[in-house]
A and B are shown apart, each in its own frame.
Chain A
Amino acid sequence: MRVFIAVAGILCAATLLLLAPTADANKVDIFIYTDTVQWIGQAQAVEEAEILADLLDGQDGIAELILHGPSKQVEKWTKDHTVDNGHHLIVMFGDVPVEIYDVGKDAKKETVAEEFLDAGNSFSNSADYFFWGVGGRNEEAGIKNMMDIPNMVQWDDNTAMKVTKEGKELTPSLDDYATDRPFHLDLLDNDWVLEVAFATETGSQKADRCDPCIVHNTKTNGRLIQVYQTANQDDPKGEVIAEIILNYYLEVVGALDVDPQDKLPTLWGDIKRRR
């Protein structure tokens, strides 16, 4: 009888262990795409991607890291990661791959990219205009469709960006600079809000233009992370994207193995309080 109880106990414990949520449950998978780029040389994009990957490699909260994911892989990866509250991330350098955004300027069709975003995942973009496809296939319609905001544009070159208090804390590699395609916060609509700005035209969270910054859809949980949308400029893109992911994103999406009562509310709650 004692042996039976012991075996049953071990089996129960094993079952509980198997059924318990794994540490990977909320971990983030990241796909860094450099096959097609705009406003940045391919070699420079590859260099920035490698800097980013080096800084992310082996860090807590990241399950899978794909560097230079080829375009033939991106569609399958994106579809596989289109799960509710995925929090996974595609990093781009000025071009959204045609394999996941193939409708050009047609606002009526849903794309793999939009489904991925609507499932609570995120895109990061550097260099040229967010979702402006190579060859001008999307033009301004890219971001309008992705956000479902018909007036959204990203014009405004040479806009001085001052690092915010949050930027100083979370992105130490970021200095004041000038952006060429800032996020127009005054055009945010529907469920989109500014979550955190690391640099804005005013140096505070209250501003009309930001870059780098994260805008968040409060309904879907999708996020757009804009980092250095500049032309012909040698910014520390890889470092700043890494700092945003490691110092902010992983925490805010609950990817880190920490007590949710403890560290997570400290950072995000603190930022929200300051606005």
Chain B
Amino acid sequence: MKTCLQTDCLIIRKYAFAELRMKLTTIRILFTLLILSLLVFACHDPIDPVLVGNLPIKTITTPKDNAVMVYVPAGEFLMGTSDAEIEHYKEIFPLRDIARYDNERPQRTVYLDAFYIDKFEVTNQQFKQFLAETGYEPKHYLDRLPYNVPNLPATVLDWDDAVAYANWAGKRLPTEAEWEKAARGTDGRIWPWGNEWDDTKLSGNDGRGHRDGYRETAPVGQFPQGASPYGAHDMAGNLWEWVSDWYDPNYYRTSPPNINPKGPETGDGHVLKGGGWAENLDFTRCANRLGGEPGSLLRGFRCVIDAPLGE
């Protein structure tokens, strides 16, 4: 047993008290911070991107196509466009016909199971690996300059070609709901990065060329500051993206299911989301949807897989 002189013990006890006091103070500070954080969290405006903007990004890499995928947890999110947003759009897109947004209304809360989505659009390198391994003959793939550079997104104009790739990779195309949640998180934000337009956060030339540093499409992942809350890149701009749903402009008004919706039974072509390099502002909104004959919309895709149960 350690002994000490009276004075030494006093000093040691003094130090012990000081240490205890310091610990208590630290605990008090931490507790106060915790309470404050909870208060801030509870009082936060639900449209603030901070809510979902800094989530830790969980990723996996799939072996077949060597694609990084980001995790989107199960839960609800806001899909489509609300009447309040329409009023806002009247201000930021004053020259647009409001009827243009009818196919995005009404906004509703949708629940989705957890899934993983490709962090980037499928590239030419990946798409050509699929073609080489399977001998598949695409119906309409732009295998020519300036579109077919390996790290550019594959410009796959035909929906069937995108589905064929997804099947080969052991994946599937996202539903429209999955795509929109992966792009905008849970808070109904307008663009993947938030509610303010910022043309430095996406591949978009506005037709004038080189404004973003690229004449047409950009190599995937060049605009990390424009990534979605879950870490998916290029959800706005670069190429329009195919989803699995058929397109029906009136679908949202037919009270579709609010749990894992898969779109109408049939429709006028398939839905395209996200806008492309030639589009800006309005077309690149997460809720924007086009269908029918896509015409001059240049399009690609990314894939999803279901998250294992319990994740």
Contacts and interface: CB of A to CB of B under 8 A. Distances in A.
Given A128-B295, A181-B296, A231 B95 contact: no
B293 A234 contact: no
Interface in B274-302: 278-283, 290, 292-297
Contacts of B207: 153-157, 159, 182, 184
B217 to A, nearest CB: 12
A225 B175 CA distance: 39
A232 B95 contact: no
B293 A37 contact: yes
Interface string A138-178: 01000000000000011111111100000000000000111
B311 interface: no
Interface stretch (B96-104, B123-131, B180-188): B96-104
Contacts of A21: none
Interface residues of B, number: 27
**B interface, over-half SS:** loop
Contact of B293 (A38, A161, A184, A233): A38
B206 interface: yes
Contact of B140 (A132, A136, A154, A234): A136
A158 B293 contact: no
B41 interface: no
Contacts of A180: 279, 283
A38 B95 contact: no
B31 interface: no
Interface in B180-235: 205-208
A155 B207 CA distance: 5
B97 A234 contact: yes
B1 to A, nearest CB: 83
A211 to B, nearest CB: 12
Contacts of B93: 158, 178
B236 interface: no
A157 B279 contact: yes
B95 A235 contact: no
Contact of A39 (B99, B208, B268, B295): B295
A233 B157 CA distance: 23
Given A136-B140, A153-B207, A178-B93, A158 B279 contact: yes
Contacts, number: 89
A155 B290 contact: no
Contacts of A161: 95
Contacts of A231: 283, 290, 295, 297
A113 B103 CA distance: 35
Contact of A158 (B99, B103, B205, B282): B282
A185 interface: no
Size bracket of the A interface: 35 or more
Nearest to A160: B95
A232 B100 contact: yes
A153 B293 CA distance: 20
Nearest to B268: A41
A232 to B, nearest CB: 5
B281 A132 contact: no
B155 to A, nearest CB: 10
B251 to A, nearest CB: 15
A226 B297 CA distance: 19
Contact of B100 (A129, A132, A233): A233
A94 interface: yes
Interface in A227-262: 231-235
Contact of B208 (A38, A41, A129, A156): A156
B65 to A, nearest CB: 25
25 contacts: A38-B293, A38-B294, A38-B295, A39-B293, A39-B295, A41-B268, A127-B295, A128-B295, A132-B296, A136-B157, A136-B295, A153-B207, A154-B296, A155-B205, A155-B278, A157-B279, A158-B93, A158-B282, A178-B95, A178-B96, A231-B295, A232-B100, A232-B103, A232-B290, A233-B97
List the 6 shortest-distance A-B pairs measured between CB atoms, nearest first. A156-B207, A155-B207, A38-B295, A128-B295, A155-B278, A129-B296
Given A156-B278, A157-B278, A158-B206, 19 more contacts: A37-B293, A41-B268, A128-B295, A132-B295, A135-B140, A155-B207, A156-B206, A156-B207, A157-B279, A158-B281, A159-B206, A160-B95, A161-B95, A176-B95, A180-B283, A184-B207, A231-B290, A231-B295, A232-B100
